[in-house]
Structure 1
Amino acid sequence: MMIKSEITDLNTATGVMRTYVHRPAVDGQYPTILFYSEIFQQTGPIERAAKLIAGHGYNVLVPEVFHELNPIGTVLAYDDAGRDKGNADKMAKSVEGYDTDNAAMIAWVKQQPWHSGDFGAMGFCIGGHLAFRAALQPEIKATACFYATDLHTNVIPNQPGQHSMERLADISGELLMIFGKQDPHIPAAGRAQVYQALVAADKTFTWHEFNGPHAFMRDEGDRYDPQLALLGYQLAFDLFRRNLK
């Protein structure tokens, strides 16, 4: 399916958030996926991933996740300086800011003629966590989380009772949780902690652990695993087909 891309700057509770919109070029109404980047924001690999999803018949929104902390249009490099800046931004932004970002995107999408009424979410790395966070919104019916960081830690600033794992009762849609066994950011004990919490909360989810490193979906650099990436996309598309019209 041919696609088109555009930019919208949305007003949120914490300032203007640039959001990249990739969607089918064919007129019609399609489900919408909120797609969350790594700490580097919309890099080339993230843009290509968003366009791939859009080409399968979805409207895809990619927000600048640290819009409060950077000039509009900021993209961090995949180097030490970019990593350090992104991690500092992660430590500086309160988790509640992501909730108001999500609410702003959902409200805007509901007004668009190309939206079918159904929402999903997806993300890589911290974006996997932010997709999980988006699932707290009642509109989100299906969420694909790829190697979601910090679900098992308290690294992201949280007010008491606001950690994403403390709000599992607010998740009503289906979750797809995908991890790499060789990911040092989410060790086996941390994965087990998240898994056990989801089981205890009686959430609807599927769980996959691949033999792969962190960032195996990123089609740039030496950690990219094309075979695992293809499998990951197939699992995500299956999730969305089953849950979104």
Structure 2
Amino acid sequence: MSETVSISTLSGEGAFDAYVARPAGDPKAAIVVIQEIFGVNAGIRRKCDRLAEDGYLAIAPDLFWRLEPGVELDPDIEPEFQTALELMGKFNQDAGIRDIEAAIKYVRGMSQSGKVGAVGYCLGGRLAFMTAARTDVDASVGYYAVGVDNLLREQHAIAHPLMLHVPTADGFVGPDVQKAMHDALDPNPKVTLHDYEGLDHGFATEFGKRRDEDAANLADSRTATFFAKHLA
């Protein structure tokens, strides 16, 4: 079952929508699904639906609501891709993290374990790292996170497990950035990095030309095992 809910900001001065997918029975745990730069589109909703099929309550907050509520863009359509880049340039990431924290608070206690995870993609992968460092989330996963090299100073604040999926041919995350990530994070016992040799950004998208079926399935299986362990 799916629905759209309204969540109050932490300050109580506004509210934003979120897509929620619920499992057939009592949820094992809750997972916040953090959007790409394309908004809460069909692919992100499908991510939520798949998590619900696996027994989780999944929620995807509309993080662009301050710029333009209800954004849904297709990365395979060039004008929409450019619009997404413009939105990312205007997006206030600190405010976005506070909205993710509001979503975490909204769903905490709605499941058997009471635990909440987060999984994000692209911009959402970066935000998943920030969520791990700045909130009380119980476990986080980032797919092809961008700009993590600029956040490494925050790794000391990561209190719960974090997994990052890193495609080695990511056009948005070059070899130097990947090396900085490994150098800084490999020694951190809270963080696990998985490399995907020769793959590009967006390989685990649900729809469109970016998807690599085998790698997406491998990454998703690792994510499923990770959440099963840390959200029980």
Q: With the length of structure 1 as denominator, give the TM-score of the two structures.
A: 0.86
Residue deviations 1:138-173 (CA, integer Å, cap 9, x gap): 4312111110012135xxxxxxxxxx3332222111
C-alpha separation in 2, matches of 1:165 and 1:203: 14
C-alpha separation in 1, matches of 2:176 and 2:126: 17
Alignment counterpart, residue 9 of structure 1, candidates 6, 15, 29: 6
Alignment counterpart, residue 205 of structure 1, candidates 182, 191, 201: 191
C-alpha separation in 1, matches of 2:189 and 2:89: 28
Aligned: 1:236 with 2:223: yes
For the aligned residue pairs, the C-alpha RMSD in angstroms reads 1.9
Shift of 1:181: 1.3
Alignment counterpart, residue 51 of structure 1, candidates 38, 43, 49: 49
- Which structure has the highest strand share of the two? 1
Aligned: 1:33 with 2:31: yes
Aligned: 1:150 with 2:150: no
Residue deviations 1:54-93 (CA, integer Å, cap 9, x gap): 211111111112111003x221232222222222222222
Q: Which amino acid aligns with 1:210?
A: Y
Equivalence for 2:68 = 70
C-alpha separation in 2, matches of 1:175 and 1:111: 21
Q: Which amino acid aligns with 1:55?
A: E
C-alpha separation in 2, matches of 1:42 and 1:231: 24
Alignment counterpart, residue 133 of structure 2, candidates 122, 132, 136: 136
Q: Which amino acid aligns with 1:243?
A: H
Shift of 1:7: 0.9
Q: With the length of structure 2 as denominator, give the TM-score of the two structures.
A: 0.90
C-alpha separation in 1, matches of 2:178 and 2:63: 24
Deviating 4+ runs (over 4 angstroms): none
C-alpha separation in 2, matches of 1:60 and 1:242: 17
C-alpha separation in 1, matches of 2:185 and 2:21: 32
Shift of 1:95: 2.2
C-alpha separation in 2, matches of 1:118 and 1:18: 22
Secondary structure of the 1:230 match is helix
Cα 1:214/1:69, change in 2 over 3 Å? same
Q: Which amino acid aligns with 2:67?
A: L
Secondary structure of the 2:115 match is strand
Q: Identity over the aligned pairs, expressed in percent?
A: 26
Shift of 1:203: 4.2
Shift of 1:111: 5.6
C-alpha separation in 2, matches of 1:84 and 1:220: 18
Consecutive unaligned residues in structure 2, runs of 5 or more: none
Equivalence for 1:19 = 18
Consecutive unaligned residues in structure 1, runs of 5 or more: 154-163
C-alpha separation in 2, matches of 1:224 and 1:66: 24
Equivalence for 1:156 = none
Shift of 1:29: 4.2
Alignment counterpart, residue 193 of structure 1, candidates 170, 180, 204: 180
